[in-house]
Amino acid sequence: MSDAIHPEPNKTAEATPPPPTDAERAELRRHGILLTSMEELYTWGNSNSVWPLNFGLACCAIEMIAASMAKFDIARFGSEVFRPSPRQADLLIVSGTVTKKMAPQIIRLWNQMPEPKYCIAMGACAISGGPFKQGFNVLKGIDRYLPVDIYIPGCPPRPEALLHGLVQLQKKIKGFKLTGPEAPRHLREDIKCDFPVPEFGEHDLEPPNNPEVWRVPTINPSDKG
């Protein structure tokens, strides 16, 4: 019986060629041959068409608007299509102070966005409450309720910082796998995709955070300088 028809298992393993290196693929591209995979195609398309929701909260939103104008031109990164409807948006840029009155509306908007979707916390207010952290009416970080992908510090961060954050988000998306532990949230069954909308309790929002996405930060005494 011929080996070509019924090859031995160890011979088959030896015959499997290794995937091409980046250098080999670059060389092939020079000759007009494009090698890719479904995964690369998916993450490439996804990362280069991140459409933000047309939505802002406070002064940081002015910087976000500036990023979309001619001088900074967010269109260079494929994100100029600010969508007025959450159903057509991929990216929620939380740009400004999140009051407790506004927080349920933000989470409702997030829930109305289809997966895959991403969240950028832009500025000190969205990250931690910023200069208004001590205010009884201010949420001390949108990450208490939503899974933030990228944090952009500053008060306010400049448009270039938002563009840098967007590029970091694109790199993150390009690193996603379609299966396994590196797959994004919407492709995994062990991660919940529903985000409960908090309600006004007697003294504060109820619940005060979503334990699925936020843990109380702890300080390791050995880290103290």
Binding of ligand SF4 by 123 (CB under 6 A): yes
Binding of ligand SF4 by 56 (CB under 6 A): no
Place of tokens 């088959």: 12
- Within 8 A by CB and 6+ apart from 88, the residues are 51
Binding segment for ligand SF4 (CB under 6 A), chosen from 48-56, 109-117, 118-126, 170-178, is 118-126
Tokens of 138: 């201010």
Whole-number Å distance between alpha carbons of 109 and 117: 12
Whole-number Å distance between alpha carbons of 155 and 142: 16
Report whether 113 contacts 198 (CB < 8 A).
no
Tokens of 40: 């690369």
Q: Which residues from 138-177 bind ligand SF4, rule CB under 6 A?
A: 155-156
* Binding residue (CB under 6 A) for ligand SF4 from 50, 53, 60, 93: 60
* Binding residue (CB under 6 A) for ligand SF4 from 64, 124, 162, 163: 124
Binding segment for ligand SF4 (CB under 6 A), chosen from 55-63, 81-89, 174-182, 197-205, is 55-63
Binding segment for ligand SF4 (CB under 6 A), chosen from 4-12, 20-28, 52-60, 216-224, is 52-60
* 199-200 and 205-206 beta bridge pairing: antiparallel
Tokens of 12: 């088959």
Residue number, 123 or 184, with CB nearest to ligand SF4? 123
* Interacting residues toward ligand SF4 by CB under 6 A: 58-60, 96-97, 123-125, 130-131, 155-156
